[in-house]
Amino acid sequence: MTRAARALWFTSAGKCSIRSGPLPDPGPGEVLVRTLHTAVSRGTETLVLNGSVPANQHSAMRAPFQEGGFPFPVKYGYLNVGVVEQGPAALLGRTVFCLYPHQTRYVVPDHAVTPVPDAVPAQRAVLAGTVETAVNALWDARPMVGDRIAVVGGGMVGCSVAALLARLPGARVQLVDVDPARRTTAAALGVDFATPEEATGGLDLVVHASASEAGLETSLGLLRPEGVVLELSWYGARRVGVALGEHFHSRRLSVRASQVGVVGRPDRTHAERLALALDLLADPAFDALITGASPFDDLPAVLPRLASGDLAALCHRIDYGHAHDR
């Protein structure tokens, strides 16, 4: 009897559904994983749900185990934690992280999964891909001991960056967001909080992760002369305007891109970077980023609400405890 698995597919603008499909038996060098949890990468998956991935970025935006193509129909996602049910003895029964979409069970090469350290709960491990992005951002930005830093945009990525910067000795770190409710999150992460109007300027580094023109303007305005904005936002097909005729040249400011597809250090691999992110998730402070959870069967209704902002969340976890393959 052929086994089946159920997966979320983005089917048309603003709509998605769960589809059943055949699940192959694992071959040599492969593992069968039963999903425990996935997480919604809200910014990226909103672009996918709305059909807003630019045509010239279809290749760059492709997830490792994506099926279908942009704009639709497409099976997309990359924050998956599960348990190995079949595979090499060293992995059998292990909890693993994989860059796999929202699906009840799946088969992948054994090198595509990374064991979750015993000190990291499976529910928290869904943050691994986001913390990996934050690790790469710090490798690109190279903050120094004692730096004055702001993270503009208190979403999933921005908060992950702030959590890592909080560990930098002597650094003064503030999380800047238009939503005062992020003050509680900032406190849990061990950093200061400010609205854009309250933010302290004269900074060495600003990491921008709000994906808005206003956020980028705020970021540039907070810098000291020779300061740097590290741009983490992904804007999709939107064009972004920013004033470069005021203090940009006189202060000799810089805007630098950071993108997780390229490892920010030549002496590290993608696998090493992901393993480091999982190790860092032993810190329970990251639990502040998981602000909601829903069962897998509710995902087609939940995802549009997350995309519209009707359901507010940083990281929204999807639980598979009662999901059945059929």
**Torsion sign (Cα): 109, 286, 263, 249:** positive
Give the C-alpha separation, 315 to 155, whole Å.
8
Cα-based angle 138, 143, 146 (whole degrees, multiple of 5): 140
CATH 3.40.50.720 domain position(s) in the chain: 136-257
- The candidate with the shortest Cα–Cα distance to 76, out of 44, 104, 105, is 44
Q: What is the DSSP letter of 117?
A: P
Phi, psi dihedral angles at 208 (to 5 degrees): -100, 125
Give the C-alpha separation, 82 to 11, whole Å.
25
Three-state secondary-structure class, residue 96: strand
CATH 3.90.180.10 domain position(s) in the chain: 3-127+281-319
Measured torsion, CA atoms of residues 242, 247, 251, 256, in degrees rounded to the nearest 10: 0
The CATH number that domain 136-257 falls under is: 3.40.50.720
- CATH architecture assigned to 3-127+281-319: Alpha-Beta Complex (3.90)
**What is the identity of the amino acid at 47?**
L
- Percent helix, percent strand, percent coil in the chain, to nearest 5: 25, 30, 45
pTM of the predicted protein model: 0.94
Give the C-alpha separation, 218 to 139, whole Å.
23
**Sheet hosting strand 74-75, strand order edge to edge:** 15-23, 3-12, 74-75, 67-68
pLDDT in tens, the chain (326 residues): 579 999 999 999 999 999 999 999 999 999 999 999 999 998 889 999 999 999 999 998 999 999 999 999 999 999 999 999 999 999 999 999 999 999 999 999 999 999 999 999 999 999 999 999 999 999 999 999 999 999 999 999 999 999 999 999 999 999 999 999 999 999 999 999 999 999 999 999 999 999 999 999 999 999 999 999 999 998 877 888 888 887 899 999 999 999 898 999 999 999 999 999 999 999 999 999 999 999 999 999 999 999 999 998 999 999 999 786 75
- The candidate with the shortest Cα–Cα distance to 87, out of 118, 65, 110, 111, is 110
